[in-house]
Amino acid sequence: MTFLGYEITKVSDSNKTRRSVSNSPVVDFTNKIVADSVTTKGLYRNTLNGYKLAGVFAKNIIDTPIAFCGFPIPQTDDEEIINYFLPYNYNFVKILRQSHREGTVWVWPWYDSKSASVKLKFIEDNQVTTVFQDPITDEITSVIITRSIQALDKNGMTVSIDEKTTYDKQKITTNYSGIYKNSVKRNVLGILPINFPNMADAGEIRGYSDYTNILPDLMDYHRTALSMSIQLNDFKTKLVQTIDGDPDTWAENQGFSDLDDFILNATPQKVSMIFNSKDDKTEFITAKGMIDSNIEALKISYKKIVQGCRVPELFWGLKQEGNTNTAEEAMTSLINLVNEKRTQSEPKFTLLMNSMLRLNAIAQGSFTSETIGITWDQLDAVSDVSRSEIFKNFCEGISKVFTSGVITIDQAFDMWEENYPSFTNMTKDEFQEGLIKTVSLLQRKNSSYAETMGMNDLDSI
């Protein structure tokens, strides 16, 4: 197309993943979109209207990865530090749970002089009403927390109090609208409430709930299940009677005065026996045909929920028809998910745990400059049976390599350690002994193994 001597080309918008560059793309530093904890908690506890018949899935989506994540452990040889964090493991698991469920949770470590211990204050994301963020460094410079508190005054009357707490790196200011006194405290550590975002993109300080991807499918499952239940509960079995002769005579043969008497007083539940002549026919219409389509729809929704939440089907208790994944494939998927969850929270836990150590040291009149890293309690998700199966399959695989004589026992052991570092702590000698025994068992199924491995005396093992 030509206009005023210029050639104009229309840009196609058929590719939805690409677009023309904007002269002034908007980057939002106001952080006004907060987690809807009413929805996420309602799903988890199965109290949310419109989702209750799908609530059976919601808890498993959160609890399964959390159970395998375990909790962070200080990476140190100091037993005193290791033992110090043991009582906090339950709180660390709660942090992971709320982060994955709500999308973001904020945690503030503080020292309680009454109990002489460091405590963790959990701050829900929807209470963090204002976040001041440096647009150049993305660093959070200040946080404002607002809450509405229901409390009792001296007369035992319920009063509503608005609380506003401002955290910056120098001080913590709290203002109340009611009976409590305002306060200003020094920020001893110079840190802000620590945010634990889930699945956040680069530069984002708030994350997304694990329910985000599958929320429409949870609603769809609930509505389909509800529709099916209503049909089953409201539908009454229908009796269809085909009569070749006189209807009144047929009704009299059933013990009724006439056909009208039969229609008014006979039901499928009451009629235990029907006497038909040669060409008479009795049928019952049930709700089976009405619910078959709903059952198929529920299967599709279930499959989408499992695929969307990334928790392998093995951990749902029921096996979906047509599933061909093995247990080890499912475990690999789960371990990848667990490692992803651990990795995203590791820097935040490192900051939190070091802050707790510093607070405790300051309270005791000392100072520590030591910085600890963290590791995680070992994930040993493979059973002894699966471990044996893995080793057997490994032996079957490398036996083919031994055929050409291009691999040694030492090389096989190195390959085992590289691919399955957490499955065994055996030495090289133990590995060789186990390898020989395994090949001996395989020899019973295939006599060529002895020649392949060059071990003709395996029967004596």
Q: What's the number of CA atoms in the CB half-sphere (13 Å) around residue 312?
A: 19
Please identify every stretch of the chain with a pLDDT value under 70, giving residue numbers as ranges: 1-15, 20-25, 27-28, 234-237, 239, 267-273, 275, 284-290, 317-328, 378-407, 415-416, 418-425, 435, 438-461
- Measured between its terminal Cα atoms, the distance across the chain in Å is 86
What pLDDT sits at residue 454?
44
Residue 449: the pLDDT is 39
220 within 8 A of 301, measured Cβ to Cβ? yes
Q: Rounded to an integer, what distance in angstroms lies between the CA atom of residue 67 and that of residue 174? A: 37
Residue 95: is it exposed, middle or buried by C-beta count within 10 angstroms (0-12/13-18/19+)?
buried
Contact predicate 333/323, CB 8 Å? no
Torsion angle of C-alpha atoms 319, 322, 328, 333, degrees rounded to 10: -90
Give DSSP secondary structure letters for 193-254. Answer: PEEEESSPPTT-SS---TTTTTHHHHHHHHHHHHHHHHHHHH--PEEEEE-SS-HHHHHHHT
pTM greater than 0.95 (yes/no): no
Q: Which 8-state DSSP code applies to residue 321?
A: T
pLDDT at 326: 60
pLDDT score for 458: 38
Determine the distance from the C-alpha atom of residue 348 to the mean position of all C-alpha atoms in its chain, rounded to a whole number.
20
Domain borders along the chain are 222-307, 384-460
Contact 425, 441 (CB under 8 A): no
Given this model, what pLDDT does residue 441 score? 64
Residue 461's pLDDT is what?
Answer: 38
Q: Using one digit for the tens of pLDDT, what is the confidence trace for 410-447? A: 777 776 676 565 555 677 787 777 767 766 665 555 55
Closest to 107 in 3D by CA, of 348, 323, 286, 306: 348
Structural contact between residues 227 and 133, judged by C-beta atoms closer than 8 angstroms: no
Tell me the C-alpha distance between 12 and 6, whole Å.
19
